[in-house]
Amino acid sequence: MSVPTPAIQLENLTYAYGRAEAVRDLNLTVKPGRCYGLFGRNGAGKTTTMKCLLNLLRPQRGKARVFGMDPNNDEVAVKRRLAYVPDQVAFYPWMSVRETLDYLASFRQQWNTKTETELLERFRLDPTKKTSALSKGQKTQVALIAAVCPETDLLVLDEPTSGLDPIVRREFIETVIGAYQEGNPGQRTILVSTHLIAEFEGLIDEFTILDGGRAVLTLEADAARERFQKIRARFTEPAPDLDFADALHVHRSGRELDLVVSAGGMQAVETLQQHRPESLSAESLSLEEIFVNVLQP
Amino acid sequence: MVIQLNFRSGKPVYLQVVDQIKAAAASGALQPGEVLPCIRPLAEDLRVNRNTIAKAYAELESLGVIETVPGKGCFLKEPQSLLRKEIRRKMLIEEIDQAIVQAHHLQVPGDEFLKLVRERMTALEDKRRSYEKKEGLTT
């Protein structure tokens, strides 16, 4: 079987604003059909990376490919195959929701009106309302509808849930992603950047943690949860002073020993077992905890 | 049937779905011929990627637990394994070995382990019977 062309491929991507490097030697591959997360703090280089895919910025070094194409040389072909929701959405304030969607649809080769109707109903958006009268959450909903309806092969979402209240966030991101993926199961690719990682726990297949423009960690979500573990042991006597090779953190306090490992959880548990703990437990870290632990060694 | 995911178990999410549907089938919570939730609503309900549910259903189908009827959905099949007996035994042995290793590490002695196995089998049987009663299948 031949390897399908990656939806996104970055090789040593480097971009600097003046002398400040925002992204440095970033390598990343997103396979078709995946939901890929770019995690990072503010200023980690997430938005810059996305802008290089859209030809809004041209990398100074390295290359970016979307479905094997160069966003600079094949701008139209690339943009035909992707939809983008920026971190700040803006519409013409004098247009209604209906007019806005029609206007955006006019740039597209196809537009799924069934999905549009379904999502407008689910979000209880009034199509006659002027976009200037929408709340921030509603504006994001309109932008997401506009990104899903053209049924592109790639959806690029830059911080889609930031600045929204938790109730709105909770319900709509999976609705949008569900509607998008349903159209061509297994083939539609999503690249989403966020620092609100808990929202995306179950949606992400694979992720890269960015810090200071560099990739710190790239893993599949399931593999990450299997590897990163929090182990807690309590002894009848003061906790032994042990050395753990893959420990990110070791915290001894009286009879208790807490550690976070990035691999080798089983071995650590076995080592602890030999010291006859009174109690011993291990659980996986959530993606958000992995993020925090990786960035705060 | 209620599926509950635990992102802290370290077990791949799709496998959690597979195992819970298998457990529901074994306990009778899910009956042969019964329809399973559709992929998209289940994915939204569990707040997971659609692909994860699709992968779980594909796995269940390849195991012969469910079948997909195009345009109608996924249904639980009568329990019948397509695999030869010795292969089925081998699969079970692997699982048993894992549980034995786990018992060793948790310092559960062999006789207590066997007692637990019997207890769990009885519990599952009881659950099955209660579902059968509900379904009005027992006379």
Find tokens 């950047």 and name the residue.
A193
CA A191-A196-A197 angle, 5° bins: 65
Of A175, A224, A221, the closest CA to residue A202 belongs to A221
Using 50, 70 and 90 to split pLDDT, how confident is the model at A218? very high
Partners of A188 on chain B (C-beta within 8 Å) are none
Q: What is the dihedral of CA A238, A243, A249, A253, to 10 degrees?
A: 10
Mean pLDDT (whole number) for A279-284? 90
Q: Among all residues of chain B, which has the CA nearest to that of A34? A: B51
Partners of A273 on chain B (C-beta within 8 Å) are 105
Q: What is the CA A296 to chain-centroid distance, rounded?
A: 19
Using 50, 70 and 90 to split pLDDT, how confident is the model at B117? very high
Find tokens 């966030």 and name the residue.
A169
pLDDT tens-digit map of A161-175: 877 777 777 677 888
Partners of A177 on chain B (C-beta within 8 Å) are 49-50
Using 50, 70 and 90 to split pLDDT, how confident is the model at B137? low
pLDDT at A195: 85
DSSP lists the bridge partners of residue A253 as A256
Top pLDDT among A191 and B126 is at A191
A204/B44 Cβ within 8 A: no
**Of the given ranges (A181-185, B38-42, B62-66, B86-90), which has the lowest mean pLDDT?**
B86-90
Cβ neighbours of residue A199 closer than 8 Å, sequence gap 6 or more:
A161, A169, A170, A173
Q: Among all residues of chain B, which has the CA nearest to that of A189? A: B51
Inform me whether the C-beta atom of residue B13 falls under 8 Å from chain A C-beta atoms. Answer: yes
pLDDT tens-digit map of B47-79: 898 889 999 999 999 888 898 888 888 888 887
pLDDT at A1 over 60: no
Inform me whether the C-beta atom of residue B30 falls under 8 Å from chain A C-beta atoms. Answer: no
DSSP string, chain B: ------TTS-S-HHHHHHHHHHHHHHHTSS-TTPBPPPHHHHHHHHT--HHHHHHHHHHHHHTTSEEEETTTEEEEPPS---S-HHHHHHHHHHHHHHHHHHHHHTT--HHHHHHHHHHHHHHHHHHHHHHHHHHT---
How many C-beta neighbours within 10 Å does residue B125 have? 12
C-alpha–C-alpha distance, residues A71 and B126, integer Å: 62
pLDDT tens-digit map of A77-90: 999 999 999 988 89
Using only C-alpha atoms, what is the Rg of chain B?
17
Percent of chain A with pLDDT over 90: 65
Using 50, 70 and 90 to split pLDDT, how confident is the model at B135? low
pLDDT at A149 over 60: yes
pLDDT at B139: 44
CA B80-B117-B94 angle, 5° bins: 60
C-alpha–C-alpha distance, residues B15 and B53, integer Å: 10
Q: Among all residues of chain A, which has the CA nearest to that of B46? A: A202
Partners of A283 on chain B (C-beta within 8 Å) are 8-10
Cβ neighbours of residue A205 closer than 8 Å, sequence gap 6 or more:
A34, A35, A36, A220, A221, B49, B51, B52
Question: In this complex, which of B8, B9, B49 lies closest to A203 when CB atoms are compared?
Answer: B49
Using 50, 70 and 90 to split pLDDT, how confident is the model at B80? low
pLDDT at A191: 96
Domain borders along chain B are: 1-79, 80-139
Mean pLDDT (whole number) for A17-31? 93
pLDDT at A145 over 70: yes
pLDDT at B134 over 80: no
Inform me whether the C-beta atom of residue B101 falls under 8 Å from chain A C-beta atoms. Answer: no
* CA separation, residue A288 to residues A167, A265, B8, B135 (Å): 19, 19, 12, 43
CA A61-A63-A65 angle, 5° bins: 160
pLDDT at B102: 85
Inform me whether the C-beta atom of residue B74 falls under 8 Å from chain A C-beta atoms. Answer: no
CATH 1.10.240.10 fits B1-79, yes or no: no
pLDDT at A297: 67
Using 50, 70 and 90 to split pLDDT, how confident is the model at A265? confident
pLDDT at A165: 74
pLDDT at B101: 87
How many C-beta neighbours within 10 Å does residue A116 have? 20
pLDDT tens-digit map of B18-54: 999 988 888 888 888 889 998 888 998 898 988 899 9
Top pLDDT among A269 and A211 is at A211
Of A202, A176, A206, the closest CA to residue A191 belongs to A206
pLDDT at A196: 85
B105/A205 Cβ within 8 A: no
**Going by DSSP bridges, is the β-strand pair B73-76/B66-69 parallel, antiparallel, or unpaired?**
antiparallel
Of B72, B59, B48, B71, the closest CA to residue B21 belongs to B59
pLDDT at B138: 47
Of A56, A124, A114, the closest CA to residue A86 belongs to A56
